[in-house]
Amino acid sequence: MPRPARRPGLALGAIALALLGSGAAAADPVGACLITKTDTNPFFVKMREGAAAKARELGIDLDSYAGKVDGDNETQVAAIETCIANGVKGILLTASNTSAIVPAVRQARDAGILVIALDTPLDPIEAADMTFATDNFKAGELIGQWARARLGAEADTARIALLDLDISQPTVGVLRDQGFLQGFGIDIADPKKWGDESDPRIVGHDVTQGNQEGGRRAMENLLATDPSLSLVYTINEPAAAGAFEALKAVGRDGAVTIVSVDGGCPGVENVKAGVIGATSQQYPLLMASKGIEAIAAFARDGTRPEATEGKSFFDTGVTLVTDAPVEGVESISAEEALGLCWG
């Protein structure tokens, strides 16, 4: 019997056949797992592509899993258990709930599996063997500094709206938000959460779930609070696009500066089109391919990846993208960023 494809993707009738015969190959290759928050966000799609390409190159057998929705811890736990049952060597994980996933991660590490957190550090960060991530605080800081320089004298009277991820305040959202505020020069009080700042320039925080629909709704809410806003921070570019729609609807799209984080291709296009003033670009593909390399090394001789100097994680880098560069903040143009973007 011929060995069917590992990922069935053909006719409906082929399901059963596709199930048959994906049994263990002759010489067991090194197995690895990639577990992302969802399989619909292009960021994770890109991450998966990066991991798959590298895995093919290194001859690693990669299985990918994803939660049903953002925040879905249960499915991720089940995925980790599956990986343990499958006897993989390493797991790359983008955790939906950074603290709730920890016991499952410990189980995997107890089974001798190298667990690398991608993009989002676990809580506590040392629950994973290593974290490959964007420095999200720095990503926020870059757009904060840019915005401050861009607004110039107006910065002192700015009216700022912050469009965050979720009321559960996932770490990534908190880091970007607080980084932005710090970069802009606002006292952030407790850096572990947003919403506790007392600066009068802040109009308010609202949540977007990181999508366009949520971005538009959150923007509308905050516009209702204060129609005179001048600066909008967004957790990511889909949220920024939604915010822009809301601003356009009330005719304030030209008067408000939007900043964001991510550097996905549609986002970079929006920088080019002037919808977004500046965005911090991160590199998911790099995270994933580095992660696969780390697993390969670990399988070969047990070496574990090391953190970037001065940080508690392996920094995969972040770059400011804008077509209106300001002095004192390094940046690349949207044109350049299009060559590096994902999604």
Residues found near another protein in the complex (CB under 8 A): 6-9, 12, 15-16, 18-24, 39, 63, 65-69, 71-75, 77-79, 81-82, 85-87, 97, 99-100, 102-104, 123-124, 167-169
Q: Cβ of residue 205: shortest distance to another protein, in angstroms? A: 14
Residue number, 10 or 250, with CB nearest to another protein: 10
Q: Cβ of residue 170: shortest distance to another protein, in angstroms? A: 10
CA 26 – CA 248 distance, rounded (Å): 60
Residue 128: which of 94, 96, 81 has the closest Cα? 94
Q: Cβ of residue 174: shortest distance to another protein, in angstroms? A: 12
CA 77 – CA 18 distance, rounded (Å): 25
Which two tokens mark 140?
A: 């926020």
Q: Cβ of residue 194: shortest distance to another protein, in angstroms? A: 13
Residue number, 75 or 308, with CB nearest to another protein: 75
Q: Cβ of residue 185: shortest distance to another protein, in angstroms? A: 28
191 DSSP assignment? T
Residue number, 204 or 317, with CB nearest to another protein: 204
Residue number, 69 or 250, with CB nearest to another protein: 69
Helices 237-249 and 265-272, axial angle in degrees (round to 10): 40
3-state secondary structure of 117: strand
Kindly tell me the burial class for residue 125, based on how many C-beta atoms sit within 10 Å of its own C-beta (0-12, 13-18, 19 or more). Answer: middle
Residue number, 103 or 227, with CB nearest to another protein: 103
Distant-in-sequence, close-in-space partners of 296: CB < 8 Å, separation ≥ 6 = 30, 58, 60
Q: Cβ of residue 299: shortest distance to another protein, in angstroms? A: 18
Q: Cβ of residue 82: shortest distance to another protein, in angstroms? A: 4
Residue number, 27 or 85, with CB nearest to another protein: 85
Residue 305: which of 178, 62, 133 has the closest Cα? 133
Hey, CA dihedral for 215, 217, 219, 222, is it positive or negative? negative
Residue number, 166 or 336, with CB nearest to another protein: 166
Q: What are phi and psi of 254, to 5 degrees?
A: -80, -25
3-state secondary structure of 217: helix
Q: Cβ of residue 145: shortest distance to another protein, in angstroms? A: 31
Residue 296: which of 154, 116, 117 has the closest Cα? 116
- For 26-109, strand residue ranges (E) read 31-36, 61-66, 90-93
Residue number, 25 or 250, with CB nearest to another protein: 25
